[in-house]
Amino acid sequence: MEENQTPEVSQLVEPEITPSQTVSRKEKFIKEVKSFTWIILSVLIFRSVLFEPFKIPSGSMIPTLLIGDFILVNKFSYGFKVPFSDWFSDPIYLTGPKQPERGDVIVFKYPKDTNLNYIKRVIGLPGDTIEVIDKVVYVNNKPIETKEVDGKKILEDMDDRYKSYQFKFMETKTGSATHITGVDLGNDYSANYYKFTVPKDNYFVMGDNRDFSADSRRWGTVPFGHIKGKAIAIWFSLSVPFPPSDEDEQESFKFRPWRIGTIID
């Protein structure tokens, strides 16, 4: 290199963006936004009219459903709805609708606060009379068919908070559904319920865990328009305990893989 000669310095050169490239980027962005919007809309429509997952937060449906069960709800069991029509009011049906059957496990908007979702079993249809005498449920003056069963395995799966109670488990026939119900022999609070006639377009519902369920015996019936769908299967089951209070015992972590795929009857 000759003296006083300035060495060449490499320079970065920014390529010039042409108008056509700007349009191309804009079109690509719009296309991606449209695709994302359609994906979100499709998922929302799927959840609104076809199937929707829910998690069981309480023990009112033990032993059919345990705390931490993740369930799938068929949203078109009683007819196809106009998408999103049940978000702010009663749903608009495109087909049907047909009424739930006695024994169906349904998810519905809680009549006292429609922002909350509840799950119970249909016991009484419109026009039915319901009565509970000494923990036996009568429908139209006939007792629901029951048979006592061994509850040892059921107690093993149940959350620890319930294991100190005097449970009696019954194989129960409600409509076409055969399921297990439980009563606490040490609890006489809900042993009886006066005879009641279910109003038109309403349903009387109860939890399978009879003495630990706030249901139609306490807050009334469920209007048909509040029903979101029928629970059909358990697709996962995991109970993660909350930190206990001073009076509570520590709950244990429960993963129940054997419940995955269980059909809800």
Give a yes or no: residue 78 inside a domain.
yes
Average pLDDT rounded to a whole number, residues 188-197: 91
> What range does the domain containing 180 cover?
42-259
Between CA 198 and CA 204, with CA 202 as vertex, the angle to 5 degrees is 60
Residue 18, in any domain of the structure: no
List residues with catalytic annotation: 60, 120
Residue 168, token pair as written in the block: 């009696």
pLDDT of residue 161: 81
DSSP H/E element including 173: strand 167-174
Specify the CATH number for the domain of residue 172: 2.10.109.10
Give the distance between the most distant pair of CA atoms in the chain: 115
Q: Has residue 118 been placed in a domain?
A: yes
Give the total number of structural domains in the chain.
1
Q: Which residues of 43-58 are buried (b: 16+ CB within 10 A; e: fewer)?
A: eeeeebbeebebebeb
pLDDT > 70? residue 244: no
Task: Give the residue with greater pLDDT, 174 vs 249.
Answer: 174
- Report yes or no on 252 lying in a domain: yes
3-class secondary-structure state, position 26: helix
Which pLDDT value is given to residue 31?
Answer: 75
pLDDT score, position 28 = 77
- Could you write out the DSSP letters of every residue in 117-134? EEEEEEEE-TT-EEEEET
pLDDT of residue 221: 98
Task: Read off the pTM.
Answer: 0.82
Q: Confirm whether 46 is domain-assigned.
A: yes
The pLDDT score that the predictor gives to residue 7 is 45
pLDDT at 235: 95
